[in-house]
């Protein structure tokens, strides 16, 4: 995965070393951390794992209303980080719960997102039309694995699924994982306002997700 400010697929050795040694770069958790860079040779292909160590306590379950409000605020702040191109934060294919593991998609434009979902809908289902939506940073793997840092701040971990998508993608994933895990999602969702148009599109996304899940079972 790439952190903000460095791209794992294109960065040179010098760029990675400079990033890790720069005390002024901004960690995703908002706190200082130690970097561990592991170089793994694999058939002449060099791979890097950049790990961020966060000192804190695993917060499970998340039941404090004030913490739930903080989580909703984190998601709102992330959504304000924008991109003109959809897809994974680290570049390359998108991964995570929403996407098929057998066909991890690579998105170049908003039309690619529409096509990916619409081809998984029946002809009677409302089609996804995403033109006009802003592409904001979505985490897409919100779960009960937050860290409560020593200074009282929440740290959101597991960024492998993160990317730039319309905000309704985050809500869609929250509804999917709510069915899987049954956690605080309903409280978080109540803190945001969705338009009727967004609700229709989320319904179509959920239908496409269910169709894909049934196909690969």
- Split at pLDDT 50, 70, 90, the class of 84 is very high
pLDDT surpasses 50 at 199? yes
pLDDT, one tens digit per residue, over 118-127 is 999 998 899 9
Task: Tell me if 107 sits within 8 A of 101, measured CB to CB.
Answer: no
Cis peptide bond upstream of 61, omega within 30? yes
- Domains contained in the chain, number: 2
Q: pLDDT (tens digit, 9 = 90+) per residue, 141-168? A: 876 667 777 777 777 888 889 999 999 9
In a domain? residue 129:
yes
Per the structure, the complete domain to which residue 34 belongs is given by: 13-52
**CA–CA separation, 154 vs 174, rounded Å?**
18
100 & 38 share domain: no
Which parts of the chain fold into alpha helices (H)? 13-21, 65-79, 110-118, 168-181, 185-189, 196-216
Residues 78 and 123 in one domain: yes
Using CA of residue 76, residue 104, residue 113, residue 92, what is the dihedral sign?
Answer: positive
- Residue 131 tokens read as 């033109």
111 and 33 belong to one structural domain: no
pTM above 0.75, yes or no: no
Is 185 found in the same domain as 142?
yes
Look at residue 6 and tell me if it is in a domain: no
3 within domain boundaries: no
Lowest mean pLDDT, pick from 7-11, 108-112, 208-212:
7-11
Exposed, middle or buried by CB within 10 Å (0-12, 13-18, 19+), for 39? Answer: exposed
Please give the DSSP secondary-structure letter assigned to residue 95: -
Q: Which two tokens stand for residue 206?
A: 């959920």
| CATH code where residue 132 lies | 3.90.1200.10
Nearest Cα neighbor of 5 from 13, 54, 16 is 16
Phi, psi of 32 (to 5 degrees): -65, 150
Please indicate, yes or no, whether residues 102 and 155 belong to a single structural domain of this protein.
yes
SS3 content of the chain, % helix, strand, coil (to 5): 35, 15, 50
Answer yes or no: do 203 and 104 share one domain.
Answer: yes
């Amino acid at each position: 995965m790439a952190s903000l400010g460095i791209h794992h697929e294109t960065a040179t050795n010098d760029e990675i070393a400079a990033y890790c040694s720069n005390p002024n770069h901004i960690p995703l958790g908002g706190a200082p951390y130690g970097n561990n860079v592991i170089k793994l040779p694999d058939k002449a292909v060099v791979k890097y794992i950049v790990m961020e160590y966060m000192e804190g306590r695993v917060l499970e379950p998340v039941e404090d209303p004030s913490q739930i409000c903080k989580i909703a605020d984190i998601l709102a702040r992330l959504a304000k980080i924008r991109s003109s191109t959809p897809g994974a934060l680290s570049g390359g294919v998108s991964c995570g719960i929403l996407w098929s593991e057998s066909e991890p998609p690579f998105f170049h434009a908003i039309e690619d997102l529409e096509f990916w979902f619409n081809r998984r809908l029946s002809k009677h289902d409302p089609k996804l039309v995403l033109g006009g939506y802003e592409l904001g940073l979505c985490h897409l793997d919100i779960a009960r694995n937050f860290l409560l840092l020593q200074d009282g701040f929440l740290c959101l971990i597991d960024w492998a699924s993160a990317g730039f998508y319309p905000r309704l993608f985050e809500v869609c994933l929250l509804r999917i994982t709510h069915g899987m895990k049954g956690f605080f999602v309903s409280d978080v969702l109540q803190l945001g306002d969705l338009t009727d148009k967004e609700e229709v599109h989320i319904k179509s996304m959920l239908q496409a997700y269910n169709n894909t899940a049934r196909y690969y079972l």
